[in-house]
Amino acid sequence: MFVLYRSLKYFVLLVWSAFVALPFLWALTTSFKTANGVVSGATYIPWLQYEPSLEGWKVLFRGEGKGIDIITPYLNSLTVTLSASFISLLLGTLAAYGLSRFSWRAGPIRNADITFFFISQRIMPPIVLSIPFFLMLRMLGLLDSRAGLVLVYIALLMPIVVWVMVDFFNNIPRELDETAMLDGCGPLETFWRVILPNCKPGLVVAGLFCIVFGWNDFFFAFILTFTETQLLPVAIVSLNSSVTPWWSLSASSLIAVVPLVILAFVIEKYLSSGNLAGAIK
């Protein structure tokens, strides 16, 4: 019985791994192919079935005077994503703590309404935001700049952070805050020294949402930047031409996915040890 259960388990895992890993392998082989290698039917084994070439990769680093320079958009994407995520986490967590612990009131508007206001920002389709964002950034002179994108992403990411963290803080007993105050902490010290260390799982989830969204966003990056500043997803799409360059698209997607894979490994211990219980509801 045990053997059967074990084999079944490994079989399921194997199928699932293949499901997850094969697209990557597909992209990997494609990235080393030339036009001929791609269009002449499915081939898998280098040197035997097709002649590997570095053509697809060279294009990404302006090899032989043509193609694009992927490093600048890459760094742009890293900077924008990390700064927007960091600021959203910081402000969003503080806002969530305030909404969870203190009573706010403006006429009929109470805490729950403010929390819903934050979340409602993500209910409307992003397309309706594109024109206001464009106009606002133009007014501020921040079109086609990293700072402008950071601002836009903060507006988009903070609701997610507030949403995750309000719930998380609500599940932390108030007595913990009270104890910290009794032990001599002021309100901000209570937050930094006592409450925040207890929130690591929530922060990990919120941070993960932020980074994945920021890194993957194409829509706003495409609308709000032109020539000066380019983010990675836009740079990758710009590789496309009338003849789809599958090889360089594959290579660039592989590079693009690297930070998220590293992130997955870093937070794996949180994801696997059940630390996230109660973090997402």
Longest dimension (CA), the chain: 75
When the beta carbons of 7 and 198 are compared against other proteins, the nearer one is 198
d(CA 71, CA 36) in angstroms, rounded, equals: 28
Smallest gap from residue 276 Cβ to other proteins (A): 16
Contact positions with other proteins (CB under 8 A) in 139-178:
173, 175-176, 178
276 binds other proteins (CB under 8 A): no
Q: What are phi and psi of 236, to 5 degrees?
A: -65, -45
**Chosen residue from 91, 136, 155, 185 binding other proteins by CB under 8 A:** 185
274 binds other proteins (CB under 8 A): no
Burial of 82 (0-12, 13-18, 19+ CB in 10 A): middle
When the beta carbons of 17 and 198 are compared against other proteins, the nearer one is 198
Q: How many CB atoms lie within 10 A of CB 139?
A: 9
Q: What is the DSSP letter of 109?
A: E
When the beta carbons of 195 and 234 are compared against other proteins, the nearer one is 195
CB 267 within 8 A of CB 204: yes
d(CA 124, CA 101) in angstroms, rounded, equals: 28
**Chosen residue from 181, 212, 263, 276 binding other proteins by CB under 8 A:** 181
When the beta carbons of 190 and 248 are compared against other proteins, the nearer one is 190
Smallest gap from residue 203 Cβ to other proteins (A): 13
Contact positions with other proteins (CB under 8 A) in 80-139:
none
Smallest gap from residue 178 Cβ to other proteins (A): 5
Span interacting with other proteins, options 11-19, 47-55, 156-164, 189-197, rule CB under 8 A: 189-197
Smallest gap from residue 180 Cβ to other proteins (A): 8
If we measure between CA atoms, which residue out of 118, 125, 122, 105 comes closest to residue 165? 118
**In sequence order, which residues have a C-beta less than 8 Å from that of residue 207 and are 6 or more positions away?**
85, 89
183 binds other proteins (CB under 8 A): yes
> Strand locations in 92-247, DSSP E?
105-106, 109-110
Q: Which residues bind other proteins (CB under 8 A)?
A: 173, 175-176, 178-179, 181-186, 189, 193-194, 197-198
